Amino acid sequence: MLSHMPRTRSQRTPHALKTGFRPGRSGACEARLYQFTGVANGEGQPPVKRVAASDLHEAITYMRKWHSDLDILRVELVALIEMVSGSPLN
């Protein structure tokens, strides 16, 4: 029987912390879509990466972690993504 063992609080993070979506002004969850353009190698097209995040700081942190080899030339805010509460993706 495990009743004599002390209970510990679960260390799971809330779902909202796992994604770039946060509650916005309209009540819907919002994320900003940032586009990072890197330096072109030779005559080819420059590499482009897109990241959905709650703010620019979060997007840059993600890029440093997962795409540290990309020499960033330009960052653009491309769109604001809204997900209505109750959406199947929620």
Does residue 13 or residue 37 have the better pLDDT? 37
pTM: 0.66
More confident residue, 5 or 45: 45
pLDDT exceeds cutoff 50 at 1: no
Which one has a higher pLDDT value, 17 or 83? 83
Predicted confidence at residue 42, as pLDDT, reads: 80
Residue 29 · residue 83 · CB < 8 Å = yes
CB neighbours of 62 closer than 8 A, spacing ≥ 6? Answer: 51, 53
CB-based contact 58:16 (threshold 8 Å): no
**pLDDT, position 2:** 47
